[in-house]
Amino acid sequence: MNGSTKDKNWNIWQIKDPLGNDQVGVRMNGGSRSVEFFAVGVDGALQTITFSPVSTLYDSQWHKVLISVQADTVTLFIDCERLETQRINPRGIINTKGDTFLGKLSDNPTVSVPFDVQWMIIHCDPYRAQRESCPELSIG
């Protein structure tokens, strides 16, 4: 993450419904040096899972971030190492008829943040993250 971005609260990926309400996404919270996964619950309220602290992400190096979302858990992997698994309440139906955003400020989605992404995969297999390897990273 580059210098100005690492201190901001921004969404690396998010979906909003046609009214602009958050549906699902991944947030980088620079203030707390955390990663947050958020999704609408069956009751329609937004629920947020916070993985903190993950200060290793907030340097100027390349990292691989994987999030596995299952029926009742969310697991964060960084550089192919499992960091933490947390429980999540049942998720509601994600309204995808709105907009999908990459790299936008959390409190102002009209403002982009500078960041580099080598690739992004959103996959329906929740076990894929467990099988990933990191040959592209020079982890010393």
State the DSSP H helix or E strand holding residue 130, giving kind and residue range, or none if neither.
helix 128-131
- Residue pLDDT, tens place only, 44-97: 999 999 999 998 898 888 899 999 999 999 999 999 999 999 999 999 999 999
State the DSSP H helix or E strand holding residue 104, giving kind and residue range, or none if neither.
strand 99-105
Q: Which residue has the tokens 């102002």?
A: 108
pTM of the full structure? 0.91
**Largest Cα span, the chain:** 46
What residues does each domain of the chain span?
A: 5-122
- Winning range, highest mean pLDDT, from 18-22, 62-66, 109-113, 129-133: 18-22
Q: What percent of the chain has pLDDT over 90?
A: 66
| Domain 5-122 coded CATH 2.60.120.200 | yes
Confidence of residue 139 (pLDDT cuts 50, 70, 90): low
Predicted local distance difference test score (pLDDT) of residue 133? 84
